[in-house]
Amino acid sequence: MQLRSVLQETLAIVVFSVAISGYASAQTATQDVPSAPAPASAAPSAPKFPPVDANGFTAASPTLATVEGFLKTSWGYDTDRVWQIQAIQNTPAPGISKVTVYVAQKSAPQQIATLVFYVTPDGKHLISTDILPFGDHPYADTRRILTERAAGPGRGALGKNFEFVEFADFQCPHCKAVQPVIDRLLQDFPNAHFVFENFPLAAIHSEAYKAAAYSACVAQLGGNEAFFKFADAVFAAQENLTPLGSDSALADAVTKAGLDPAKVASCSYTSAAKGPVDASIKLAQDLDINQTPMLFINGRQIPVGEVANNELPYDTLKQIVAWQFSLDK
């Protein structure tokens, strides 16, 4: 097991590359320093982690229970994965703690990886290569924000107990490639609600904002069903989203959605179209999203494009979704 793969399926890109994201209440400096955990229980296939040194637990926050809760929330979907919290230490930076975890797979117990991350003084974020949410409920705050502010077109189940939120750019090739993955998820999780949020990366995709504005008008004039017909048509003809071809491509997609292209084109220049798009962009920025496509599973962030790129197996994504939904029942 390589440490990079551990990070990718955990602290995500996330997670690392796959997933992490929520929050725990900050621990106070008056708490007792946690005692060292007992060594991992012996089992025929259990990895032989190095002995735990009680001297490695010098920080009062985060507590051992909080770190364990965070790891269970992040990795519990993988029953082959085992870990041992090796140290929670003070650092020279006031209030910032260093956490060291040994990680292995039961199927390859001889390969032990070391994961090191730092926890901020508020107990709500960790720092690895990115600043990420932390705690035994690391996705709760993001889930709340999305529940309150993700107002894009939706499909699937009506309730929001189980919710997917995708941030996508109509001119992004990876966003096009991932749409079959989204369809498959909704088939496998029929009780889930799906929300599409526009996040046009206008700095690199010249026609993305225009396509997003058209889509907002389509949703307003034709509803969710028309929006997703439009979206499918735009992705199918994505190669035509060029400065010379986008007007024709978008008009054709509007027609396939059953609406009047001239009416939608006129709407696309108004605040009624730009307002929802700008609000979606602001939401993405507030969540520190810097790539598309990005999928949230009840607040848990997954760079779902990695499934389309075969960097993350769909079965693993399905495991993560099932695990997260089981935690949020």
The predicted-structure confidence for 125-184, as pLDDT tens digits, reads as follows: 999 877 789 999 999 999 999 999 999 999 999 999 999 999 999 999 999 999 999 999
Q: Give the Cα separation of 65 and 31 in Å (integer).
A: 13
pLDDT tens track for 22-77 = 222 222 223 344 445 555 444 446 888 989 999 999 999 999 999 999 999 999 99
Amino acid identity at 206: S
Match 């962009």 to its residue by tokens. Answer: 281
218, exposed or middle or buried, with CB in 10 Å at 0-12, 13-18, 19+?
A: buried
pLDDT score, position 45: 65
Going along the chain from its start, the domains and CATH numbers come out as 3-136 (no CATH), 144-327 (3.40.30.10)
Task: Compute and round to an integer the Cα radius of gyration of the chain.
Answer: 22
Q: Does 12 score more than 50 pLDDT?
A: no
**Host H or E run for residue 270:** none
Q: Give the Cα separation of 218 and 23 in Å (integer).
A: 36
Percentage of the chain surpassing pLDDT 90? Answer: 78
pLDDT tens track for 273-312 = 999 999 999 999 999 898 999 999 999 999 999 998 888 9
Q: Give the Cα separation of 182 and 308 in Å (integer).
A: 10
- The whole-angstrom distance between residue 197's C-alpha and the CA centroid of its chain comes to 13
Q: Give the Cα separation of 16 and 21 in Å (integer).
A: 10
pLDDT score, position 110: 84
- Tell me the HSE value of 92 on the side-chain side, using a 13 A CA sphere: 0
Q: Give the Cα separation of 230 and 129 in Å (integer).
A: 38
Q: Does 233 score more than 80 pLDDT?
A: yes
3-state secondary structure of 82: strand
Mean pLDDT of the chain: 88
Q: Give the Cα separation of 45 and 304 in Å (integer).
A: 32
pLDDT score, position 20: 31
Q: Does 204 score more than 50 pLDDT?
A: yes
**Going by C-beta distance under 8 Å and a sequence separation of 6 or more, which residues neighbour residue 67?**
85, 88, 99, 101
User: Is the Cβ–Cβ distance between 26 and 61 less than 8 Å?
Assistant: yes
**Going by C-beta distance under 8 Å and a sequence separation of 6 or more, which residues neighbour residue 77?**
319, 320, 322, 323, 324
Q: Does 7 score more than 90 pLDDT?
A: no
Q: What angle do CA 319, 320, 321 make, to 5 degrees?
A: 90
Q: Sorting pLDDT into bands at 50, 70 and 90, what band is 92?
A: confident
Q: Does 5 score more than 80 pLDDT?
A: no
**How is the beta sheet containing 193-198 ordered, strand by strand?**
154-156, 193-198, 163-168, 294-297, 300-302
Q: Of 14-23, 125-134, 270-279, 319-328, which gets the smallest average pLDDT?
A: 14-23
Q: Does 18 score more than 60 pLDDT?
A: no
Nearest residue to 247 via CA among 264, 222, 272: 264
- Tell me the HSE value of 137 on the side-chain side, using a 13 A CA sphere: 12
